[in-house]
Structure 1
Amino acid sequence: MRENDMDATPPVVLVHGFWHGSWCWSLVSEQLASRGVASVAVDLDGHGLKSRSPQSLWRRPFDAGAFALEPSPVAGITASSAAASLVEQVRRIGNGRPCLVVAHSMGGTVATAAAEQAPELFAELMYVAAFAPVSGMPTGQYISMPENAGELVASGLSADPASVGALRFDTGDSDGWAAIRETFYNDEIDEATAVAAISMLTPDAPAGVAFEPIIVTAERYGSIPHSYVVCARDNAIRPGLQRLMVREIDDISTRPTTVVELDSSHSPFLSQPTALAEVIQAAHTAIHRSERSERSRTAGV
């Protein structure tokens, strides 16, 4: 390996949440690149280029009843299986070296499981308005907690997740776009960007990710640094629940969680990409500085 390769910190890995894909990070990646920070956005299993839609979504005339009942083609995906895929993505992107992994929303569930599976690949796990189910409860139980009162996701679903195996949105009905926007993009996101984002949402997100309990340990998950970006105007994961999960992370982690708060909706990667990129850059710089200091210390021994 060349000497300058050892000096280069691996790219930041950007992990989206349910219904989104790697595309949602494009504005943040652009901002990071302008700051000299390399980043790679990935598609989780069941999303983006790995997505599969129910056939009833495309049939014409559209049958809402059939759409509500058709079993999902992504029903077999679990948090553990999606985490195993993410581990391989992080390993490949970092060439085996630990990366700063930034996870949004339900991507936090997958990243939490991945950090327990392979903590050696995580220089830090940063949650952005994300689920961090470290208590042993399935993520789905957090959704109905009092701290999440006022969330708008559950009321927007078009099917019973337990029946079809997915959390399903009807993104093809433009009459429902205002409700989706209020759920995910209820701040300074311009209309054109919001409409474009809604049109790219995957209809089915695998319920197995939300229903599987995640078991983490202090020795593995708790040994890596964590940070959390709280989104104060979030209608998908309410701020009270975000702060509760920070406290639960601190209960198992060997060091306190670094917390930054943004006055944003659930999707600061679209409404405040500059501010979010600055938070990520600061964490990335701290990791790089720590690595260089450790190499210098080791070389001096």
Structure 2
Amino acid sequence: MNNSTQSPQFLLVHGAWHGSWCWRELQDVLADRGWATHTVDLPSVVPDGAEGKLPGLLDDARVVREKIDGIQAPLVVVGHSYGGAPLTQATPGAANVAHLVYVSAFALDEGESLMTCFGGDQPDPATVEGVIPVREDPETTLYNDVPEDKRDAALARLLPQSALSFAEPVSRAGWKTLPTSYVLCDDDRSLPPSYQEPFAARTGTTYHLPSGHTPLLSMPDKLADLLEQIARDASAQKS
């Protein structure tokens, strides 16, 4: 297809502990099919040994919005897992965003944070410091269906996540005003389907993948199929 300014492009927003590297295989699949893609590296993913006041969700959202504003094309913005939270905050009012896609991701409402969306207490963000280490047993929770070689390569690149990114609530929600889809991962061991379903209910359309938490690594071709379908539908609705 022709990637003109009228053709949607993809902005891919990674989840906690990861970086833009995790999208590489999906980007290659989409590029082979003629789609342009962009990524960001969220500042809330911090080096080993980071301490004190660290970047949070609002810093991540600012990076996402700056990237959106710098791309002169219609965008399908895709958030994986935690990446759905800064996507939610960053996208309201962005004229070039054609569609939002949450991939087993947090479609938070105003006033919600990752710490409160399932009933936890909201801390004062001003008091939150330090990091959240990579979650326990990531081989199973994050990568249960990822081939061993790719799983081991990903595990070696994971970094701590700032605690503030999980503590800061969103103050606005892009899914309320923008066309939105949810990709529900049916074999997710990190954010099980029963936890994804309330977020999916906030979106316009729910798609299913028979994947674990990270289909961008376990089944990039099937995820690309869905994203292509969503982008084509978004383009048709704009025309």
Report the TM-score when normalising by structure 1: 0.71
Counterpart among 126, 140, 154 of residue 182 in structure 1 = 140
Match of 1:138, as an amino acid? S
Could you tell me how far 1:143 is from its partner in structure 2? 5.0
More helix as a share of residues: 1
Q: Show structure 2 runs of 5+ residues with no match.
A: 121-126
Q: Deviations over 1:47-80 (max 9, x none)?
A: 3xxx43216xxxxxxxxxxxxxxx35xx431222
**Aligned ranges for residues 1-301 of structure 1 at < 5 Å?**
5-7=4-6, 9-47=7-45, 51-54=46-49, 71-72=51-52, 75-92=53-70, 94-95=71-72, 97-116=73-92, 118-134=93-109, 136-143=111-118, 164-169=129-134, 179-187=137-145, 189-202=146-159, 204-216=160-172, 221-247=175-201, 249-250=202-203, 257-291=204-238, 293=239
Give, in whole Å, the separation in 2 of the partners of 1:140 and 1:201: 21
SS at match of 1:12: strand
Aligned to 1:152: none
Report the TM-score when normalising by structure 2: 0.88
Query: Do the aligned partners of residues 90 and 163 (structure 1) sit closer, same or farther apart at CA in structure 2, a change above 3 Å counting?
Result: closer
SS at match of 2:61: helix
Give, in whole Å, the separation in 2 of the partners of 1:242 and 1:263: 14
Match of 2:58, as an amino acid? S
Runs of 4+ aligned structure 1 residues displaced above 3 Å come to: 4-7
Q: Give the RMSD, CA atoms, in angstroms.
A: 2.2
Could you tell me how far 1:241 is from its partner in structure 2? 1.1
Could you tell me how far 1:6 is from its partner in structure 2? 4.0
Residue identity (%): 31
Give, in whole Å, the separation in 2 of the partners of 1:120 and 1:79: 22
Give, in whole Å, the separation in 1 of the partners of 2:128 and 2:167: 13
Q: Show structure 1 runs of 5+ residues with no match.
A: 56-70, 146-161, 171-175, 251-256, 294-301
Could you tell me how far 1:138 is from its partner in structure 2? 1.5
Mark the structure with the bigger radius of gyration. 1
